[in-house]
Chains A and B, each alone.
Chain A
Amino acid sequence: MKKISVIDYGMSNLHSVFKSFQKVTDKKYALSVANSSKDLEGASIIILPGQGAVNSCMDRLKSKFPDLEKHIANKPFLGICLGFQILFNKSFEDGGVNCFSIIDGTVNDFRNDIDSKYKVPHMGWNMVNQQQDHPIWDNISNNSFFYFVHSYYAKANDSSRELSTTDYGINFTSSVIKDNIFACQFHPEKSSANGLQLLSNFISYSESIE
């Protein structure tokens, strides 16, 4: 049976991500939690959910998964929330933290860039504006609502990487695509039917690029 590995770097709550994949894969994949690089071997798909602060996330990823970049260079990969932000060059959270530079762009503080009438964290259901046709959006209407919880926002420099944008006082990158890598700021595992559809689309997309 093919394996999906969900990366656990010790700070994020994997419960919903794990259960939502269990639901959409309908026992066709073996789901497992990866606590070290060794656990990623043999995985067909790698998922990186994320919560918490970026500096401890990067530190823990580097110490527990020193060859993470090698793994995600050639396997279908899904990053969620902080797992999306760490793909950019740099996050300005925690005084500035260098990230993986897989997507050209930076992660910035909403509070510096939006009107104070917008509450931070950006928490709740907001619209995802699709920027490209892509199988990730199969059966999901443009401008569908997805669930967000974050205080920092990403902006990709190269718009060809932007799969969607969202407005919250500023227009930011809400999902990106780069070959085998798909990542989103919003939480598909908390976004009801559209979220489950997106996860299912990601699995199909992964199978199509194998």
Chain B
Amino acid sequence: MSVAKRIIPCLDVDKGRVVKGTNFIDIIDAGDPVEIAKKYDSEGADEITFLDITASHEGRDTILDVVEKVANEVFIPLTVGGGVSSFDDVRELLSVGADKVTINTAAVSNPNIINDVTEKIGRQCIVIAVDVKKINNEYMVFTHGGRKNSNLRAYDWCIECQKRGAGEILLTSMDKDGTKDGFDLEILNNISSTIDIPVVASGGAGKLEHLYDAIEIGNADAVLAASIFHFGEFTINQAKEYLKGKGILVR
């Protein structure tokens, strides 16, 4: 027996509020991270990811407040990312109750941050967010919220992250993100079958069978999705029942 495949809802947070909304009819404040996190926990979410999209520097500290408030009331693993640029940022987020921190741009510009966190705190808490886009038939890693081509090949970069001690890879296909027509199974399977650390699939979930494909064909250890859960198309329970029916081990 192995660990259950995880279903992870992802919430965008701007200045302490969940944006892009959710349409849960039974929560009073659709922008309140605590209420939304509680709702997802009760539906069977295996983990919750918060992506801080706060642009202004002054607003950055609000994510700490969000994590602390959620961690006081929701007792499942919490992952936080967005704008994490230093070892101290990681430590601060963990100290207020995050279990894992995702790093993207900072890891590409200073890969030693991966070794640093792994050696001082442990590999389980560091997730490398890898945003990929297919350019001339090659998957390349993008940073700065998808605006900048790092000129690193996704395959090489994921191997390097693993060598440096990363605990997990969050692999987002920029080509598929927002399309709702399924995950990029090619790069997903390519990375998952190459590296030994867990791979979380992200970008493109629109139907429940996409989740199944990411796990079964893409070999993902977990699937992350936003809109299909936020807008009530499916509950996490429905996703789990569907996967269970297809023989996938879920909690």
Using CB atoms and an 8 Å cutoff, list the residues of chain A in contact with chain B.
Answer: 13, 15-16, 19-20, 22-23, 51-52, 116, 118-127, 145, 147-149, 167-169, 189-192, 195-196
Q: How far in angstroms is the closest Cβ of chain B from A101? A: 26
Question: Is residue B71 contacting chain A, with contact meaning CB distance below 8 A?
Answer: yes
In the assembled complex, the Cα of A56 lies from the Cα of B251 at a distance in Å of: 34
Q: Which of A23, A125, A149, A192 contacts B124 (CB 8 A)?
A: A149
In contact, B3 and A123 (Cβ under 8 angstroms): yes
- Over the window 68-108 of chain B, the binary record of Cβ atoms lying under 8 Å from chain A Cβ atoms (1 yes, 0 no) is 00011101110000000000000000111101000000000
CB contacts between A and B, total, < 8 Å:
79
In contact, B75 and A196 (Cβ under 8 angstroms): yes
- Over the window 198-214 of chain B, the binary record of Cβ atoms lying under 8 Å from chain A Cβ atoms (1 yes, 0 no) is 10000000000000000
Closest to B123 in A: A121
Given contacts A51-B122, A190-B77, 15 further A-B contacts (CB under 8 A): A13-B95, A15-B71, A19-B75, A23-B73, A122-B3, A123-B167, A124-B3, A126-B1, A147-B76, A148-B3, A190-B75, A190-B99, A191-B76, A192-B41, A192-B76
Using CB atoms and an 8 Å cutoff, list the residues of chain B in contact with chain A.
Answer: 1-4, 6, 41, 46, 71-73, 75-77, 94-97, 99, 121-124, 167-168, 196-198, 221-222, 251
Jot down 18 A-B pairs with beta carbons below 8 A, ordered by A. Answer: A13-B95, A15-B96, A16-B97, A19-B72, A20-B75, A116-B196, A118-B2, A123-B124, A124-B46, A124-B222, A126-B2, A145-B251, A168-B3, A190-B77, A190-B99, A191-B75, A192-B41, A192-B75
Q: How far in angstroms is the closest Cβ of chain A from B34? A: 13
In contact, A119 and B75 (Cβ under 8 angstroms): no
In contact, A125 and B46 (Cβ under 8 angstroms): yes
Q: How far in angstroms is the closest Cβ of chain B from A107? A: 16
In the assembled complex, the Cα of A52 lies from the Cα of B6 at a distance in Å of: 24
> Are A126 and B76 also in contact (CB < 8 A) when A119-B196, A121-B123, A121-B167 are?
no
Top 5 A-B pairs, shortest CB-CB distance:
A124-B3, A145-B251, A167-B1, A125-B4, A15-B97
In the assembled complex, the Cα of A205 lies from the Cα of B221 at a distance in Å of: 36
Q: How far in angstroms is the closest Cβ of chain B from A114? A: 10
In the assembled complex, the Cα of A195 lies from the Cα of B121 at a distance in Å of: 24
In contact, B1 and A121 (Cβ under 8 angstroms): no
Q: Tell me which residues across on chain A come within 8 A of B75, comparing CB atoms.
A: 16, 19-20, 23, 189-192, 195-196
In contact, A126 and B96 (Cβ under 8 angstroms): no
In contact, B6 and A124 (Cβ under 8 angstroms): yes
In the assembled complex, the Cα of A168 lies from the Cα of B96 at a distance in Å of: 31
In contact, A168 and B124 (Cβ under 8 angstroms): no
Q: How far in angstroms is the closest Cβ of chain A from B151? A: 29
